[in-house]
Amino acid sequence: DSGVTQTPKHLITATGQRVTLRCSPRSGDLSVYWYQQSLDQGLQFLIQYYNGEERAKGNILERFSAQQFPDLHSELNLSSLELGDSALYFCASSEVGTSGRDTQYFGPGTRLTVL
């Protein structure tokens, strides 16, 4: 158990809908990261938040947005969903997250299925 929790575990929705994925980092970790894992694209970094502020952006679509709240939990919002958004979404956290030296701890993931 990494100490990172994600809810829900599974999510099934229809095209065009909007969903919110939630992540609680390990106690004391200031950074939260979001990743998408699909069969054809592998594991892709989406976005990082550090202490409430966006720190780094990866291959995140404009239809997707994220935020980190004062209690450090984070939410990933996916809107206008398409079939291709079906994937595993992982959240990770790290103690600081301002250096490539940092270790990231991953949650169990949310499996999103768009029908």
Partner 1 sequence: DAKTTQPNSMESNEEEPVHLPCNHSTISGTDYIHWYRQLPSQGPEYVIHGLTSNVNNRMASLAIAEDRKSSTLILHRATLRDAAVYYCIRTSLYGGSQGNLIFGKGTKLSVKP
Residues 60-89 that bind partner 1 (CB under 8 A): none
Give the residue, chosen from 16, 57, 63, 115, that forms a contact with partner 1 under the rule CB under 8 A.
Answer: 57
Question: Collapsing DSSP states into helix, strand and coil, what is residue 84?
Answer: helix
Burial of 51 (0-12, 13-18, 19+ CB in 10 A): middle
CA distances, 47 to each of 1, 16, 74, 86 (Å): 23, 22, 11, 18
Q: Site for partner 1 (CB under 8 A): which residue of 11, 19, 87, 92? A: 92
Min CB(103)–partner 1 separation in Å: 5
Sequence-distant (≥ 6) Cβ neighbours of residue 77 within 8 angstroms: 18, 19, 20, 21, 64, 65, 66, 67
Q: Shortest distance, CB of residue 17 to partner 1, whole angstroms? A: 25
Q: Which stretch binds partner 1 (CB under 8 A): 10-18, 20-28, 63-71, 97-105?
A: 97-105
User: Exactly one of 2, 15, 17, 77 binds partner 1 (CB under 8 A); which one?
Assistant: 2
For Cα atoms 66, 72, 78, give the angle at the middle one, nearest 5 degrees.
20
**Judged by CB under 8 A, which of 10, 39, 40, 42 binds partner 1?**
42
- What residue ranges bind partner 1 (CB under 8 A)? 2, 4, 33, 35, 42-45, 48, 55-58, 90, 92, 97-109
